Amino acid sequence: MQAKSKTLKILDIVSVLLLAVAVYLALVYAPEELQMGQVQRVFYFHVATAWTALLGFVAAGATGIIYLVSKDSKWDIIEVSAVEISLVFFFITIVLGSIWARPIWNTWWTWDPRLTTAAVTELIYVAYFMLRQGIEDPDRRARFGAVYTIVGSISAPITFFAIRLFRTIHPVVIGNSDPGSLGAFDMTSKMLVAFMFALFTFSVIFVDLFWNRIRMGKLASRVEQLKLSNMQ
């Protein structure tokens, strides 16, 4: 594996520092929400991880298209990297959402349109890795993976717009919530700062992890090539 570039090393450090500042802003700087109490602070990371994860799923779909057009294996590596990190981020989103829902909705989980579409999206991308594990031929695996991510990426905008299209109890942060939603609140300027900073931080962390994961993907590709050539 080639040594890390200086830019990537700097990005690693910047990501850690930004995360520390984002935690400070979310836990200390932003004021307590009066109706929900301290648990509302989970919202900053919940939305930020969801946003980056959904963008990552859409990006994976786009790289799937590019792979099918170019047949260049580097796009397959990029696609897998985007899906893997998005999957982790989206899992964090669901877990944080569930923790927030317990005191606010009085339940860990409910089959609300937003929660259901989120769970379906997560499962679609878990199945993506199961599909890839089942195919040995690298070209075939990449082709199937590309088609799968293109189809799967449709679930990301559906999840995003679910709270705007369907009747739901999930609050809408930016825009008007459904009258039946529980846990909606108006952000103060300090809350908005913490929220925007969390969005920025997780975008940077995503780029950092993405870059590192692509490097690992290239290494895995090299190992696979050697395995195949040794078998011949």
Partner 1 sequence: MFIQDTTPDTSAYMVAGYAIFFVLLILYLISFLIRTRNLNRDLTTLENMKVQSQVATGDSSEFKPAGNTRHAVKRKAARPKGNKSNQVKKKVIKKK
Residue 14: Cβ within 10 Å count = 14
- Residue 71 as a binder of partner 1 (CB under 8 A): the answer is no
- Residue 73 as a binder of partner 1 (CB under 8 A): the answer is no
- Which residue lies nearer to partner 1 by CB, 45 or 160? 45
Contact region for partner 1 (CB under 8 A) — 72-80, 91-99, 127-135, 143-151? 91-99
- Residue 170 as a binder of partner 1 (CB under 8 A): the answer is no
State the Cα–Cα distance between residues 2 and 48, nearest whole angstrom: 32
Residue spans of alpha helices (H) in 134-188: 138-152, 155-165
User: Treating both helix axes as pointing N-terminal to C-terminal, what angle do 73-105 and 138-152 enclose, rounded to 10 degrees?
Assistant: 40
- Which residue lies nearer to partner 1 by CB, 32 or 139? 32
Binding footprint of partner 1, residue count (CB under 8 A) = 37
Residue spans of alpha helices (H) in the chain: 6-24, 42-70, 73-105, 113-133, 138-152, 155-165, 189-231
State the Cα–Cα distance between residues 50 and 33, nearest whole angstrom: 21
Residue 26 Cβ vs partner 1, minimum distance, rounded to whole Å: 8
Binding mask 98-137 for partner 1 (x = CB under 8 A): -xx-xx----------------------------------
Structure tokens at 184: 């909606």
Give the binding site for partner 1 (CB under 8 A): 1-3, 23, 27, 32, 34-42, 45-46, 88, 91-92, 95-96, 99-100, 102-103, 212-213, 216, 219-220, 222-223, 226-227, 229-230
